[in-house]
Structure 1
Amino acid sequence: MSDAAPAILRPDALPRNDRGNGARTIPLVTRGCGSTSLINGITEFDPGAAIGLHFHDCEESVMVLEGDAIAEIDGMRHPLRTGDTTWIPANVPHRFLNETDSVMRIFWTYASVSATRTMVATRICQSIDDEHAQATRT
Structure 2
Amino acid sequence: MYPITTPSDAKLLRPGELPQHDRGGGARTVSLVSPALGATTFISGITEFDPGTAIPFHSHNCEESVVLLEGEAIMDIDDQHYPLQVLDTTFIPPNVVHRFRNISDSKPMKILWTYASPQATRTLRDSGETRPIALEHHPK
TM-score by length of 2: 0.90
Moved over 3 A (4+): none
SS in 1 for 2:91: strand
- Could you tell me which residue of structure 2 aligns to residue 22 of structure 1? 26
CA–CA separation in structure 1 for the residues paired with 2:30 and 2:135? 14
Deviation at 1:109, TM superposition (A): 0.3
CA–CA separation in structure 1 for the residues paired with 2:70 and 2:100? 13
Residue 119 in structure 1 maps to residue 124 in structure 2: yes
| Unpaired runs of at least 5, structure 1 | none
CA–CA separation in structure 2 for the residues paired with 1:118 and 1:5? 34
CA–CA separation in structure 2 for the residues paired with 1:131 and 1:42? 11
- Could you tell me which residue of structure 1 aligns to residue 37 of structure 2? 33
Residue 76 in structure 1 maps to residue 80 in structure 2: yes
Alpha carbons 1:43, 1:105 under 8 Å: kept: yes
Question: AA paired with 1:66?
Answer: E
| Unpaired runs of at least 5, structure 2 | 1-7
SS in 1 for 2:44: strand
Alpha carbons 1:25, 1:43 under 8 Å: kept: yes
Residue 132 in structure 1 maps to residue 137 in structure 2: yes
Residue 91 in structure 1 maps to residue 95 in structure 2: yes
CA–CA separation in structure 2 for the residues paired with 1:55 and 1:63? 17
| Superimposed CA distance per residue, residues 10-67 of structure 1 (whole angstroms, 9 cap, x where no aligned partner) | 1011111111111101010001111000000000011101111100000000000001
Deviation at 1:5, TM superposition (A): 2.0
Question: AA paired with 1:113?
Answer: P
Residue 102 in structure 1 maps to residue 121 in structure 2: no
Alignment match of 1:53 (pick from 50, 57, 63):
57
CA–CA separation in structure 1 for the residues paired with 2:124 and 2:36? 25
SS in 2 for 1:32: helix
Alpha carbons 2:51, 2:103 under 8 Å: kept: yes
% identical equivalent positions: 52
SS in 1 for 2:11: coil
CA–CA separation in structure 2 for the residues paired with 1:37 and 1:85? 20
